Amino acid sequence: MQTDSSFTFVLFGGTGDLSMRKILPALYEAHRAGMLADSGKIVGVARHEEDRAGYIDWVNGHVKPYVSKDGLDEAAWESFLARIEYVKLDLSKAEDFVLLRDAVNKLSGTRVFYLATGPSLFVPICHALASVGLNENARIVLEKPLGYDLRSSNAINDAVGEIFAEEQIYRIDHYLGKEPVQNLLALRFGNALFEPLWRREWVESIQITIAEELGVEARGDFYDNTGALRDMVQNHLLQLLSIVAMEPPHSMDSDSVRDEKLRVLRALKPIDPRDIQRVAVRGQYHAGVIRGTAVPAYATEPGVKKDSTTETFVALKVEIENWRWSGVPFFLRTGKRLADRVAEIVVNFRPVPHSALGPTALRPGANRLVIRLQPNETIRLYCLAKQPGEGMNLASVHLDLAFDQFFRENQMEAYQRLLLDVINGRLALFVRRDEQEAAWRWVEPILNDWSAANKAPKPYAAGTWGPAAASAMLAQHGTCWLEEEN
């Protein structure tokens, strides 16, 4: 399906890592699939001394390796490059924004300004766009992190909000664009089977994990001033939690969906500082081995302070104080240099109250739903069945919805879906300001406690699943992380 109209997509940070790995490849895939209006243009903006030909050479050298897992379509690639323009821009020079305005005014359609830059540049860029009249009839896309805490987040939102209306602002969280997250909504609200079970009477616990094998790579300076709680929990994990726990929306329009997510975030049980040690685990990776390769400790990574107390791992026990979820623990976990790269949601249903078939049917987790977001996007429902042969012996079996096998169409990557939504003016999968504020407000007591204590995080070896305290926290509730059962 093609975008509704022509567009001009202006990409600040046009030579940055995010543009190279995600944004330009996603736009190419949309182009190759015929989803972009023929007249749509992409304008790369950076401070490098390039002309258009030089920028095209850069795109060929740096972006091409990240497109098309199933092989590059050379004809589609060449026609995609024909969409691209380039404007050299120094943010400190007002005259450069005049040049940008002149370039954009020659192009037609909806204007999208994507800020793939550090958050410190969001406000100066927005002010400069407004100074040359480019904030009218336009959409602005803001990448995370949006601020360092509630105060700085509000400062950015206040400043951007003076220039762009809320309906013009697209705060992107790429996890909301993943196919299984969309299918979670379809499973819950499109099937009579799951919705009656999606509540405290039938759900024993829920786990949400985003684990990475990678370390901080070349982002040591940034990460050492951020940490896992700000980088992953405040946005990705709390957004996934709100999708899992939300009430059925009135419709799938943007405000109906986001209103229900906001209600979940506002229903999060506040963290009492006296309970933080019991419900929050923070860790930092030490040297270890991942898939046979030795990797260094976090404190020896480039850009990281040698005595750093920044956390690279967080595990939390979260409660939602509402009618549907009261008493159900939600366990959130994220970390770097863990044993595997995986993002998944695990819904553990309660065991049967009595079994005439033996203890297997009473085992926690005998019935569960596992929604895998990466690396392979699947939804798997576990239940018990009789083993072939003599006697009534039960075994765990599963039903799979493997998208790549069931649906023959090419799946959209998350960024591809979200960029098309920006171009078409669909806000449902983007974070509204009041959602962001509610998330920061809930996270802040933990941030403040960890900052005041200045204690070293619990160590864990790279290539493991984090500190033992994260497993002990679940054991107190008679459960364990999914990989520990296997």
The binding site for NADP(+) consists of 47, 90-91, 144
- Enter the tokens of residue 306: 């040698």
Annotated binding residues for substrate: 174, 178, 212, 231, 336
458-461 and 280-286 beta bridge pairing:
parallel
DSSP 398: E
Q: Is 70 exposed, middle or buried (0-12, 13-18, 19+ CB in 10 A)?
A: exposed
Annotated binding residues: 47, 90-91, 144, 174, 178, 212, 231, 336
Residues 188 and 206: their CA atoms lie apart, in Å, by 15
- The candidate with the shortest Cα–Cα distance to 208, out of 186, 175, 177, is 175
User: Cβ distance 216 to 336 under 8 Å?
Assistant: yes
SS3 of residue 8 by DSSP: strand
SS3 of residue 304 by DSSP: coil
Please count the other Cβ atoms lying within 10 Å of the Cβ belonging to residue 434: 16
User: Cβ distance 37 to 3 under 8 Å?
Assistant: yes
Which is the catalytic residue, given 127, 236, 354, 477?
236
Name residue 141's amino acid.
V
Inter-CA distances, 367 with 187, 319, 364, Å: 16, 21, 8
Element (H, E) at 227: helix 227-228
Q: Is 236 a catalytic residue?
A: yes
- The candidate with the shortest Cα–Cα distance to 23, out of 71, 99, 80, is 80
Interacting residues of 138 by C-beta distance below 8 A, sequence separation 6+: 110, 111, 112, 113, 129, 164, 168
Residues 306 and 456: their CA atoms lie apart, in Å, by 12
DSSP 217: T
DSSP 273: G
* Per-residue exposure over 220-242, b if at least 16 CB sit within 10 Å of its own CB, e if not: beebbebbbbbbbbbbbbbbbbb
Active site residues: 236
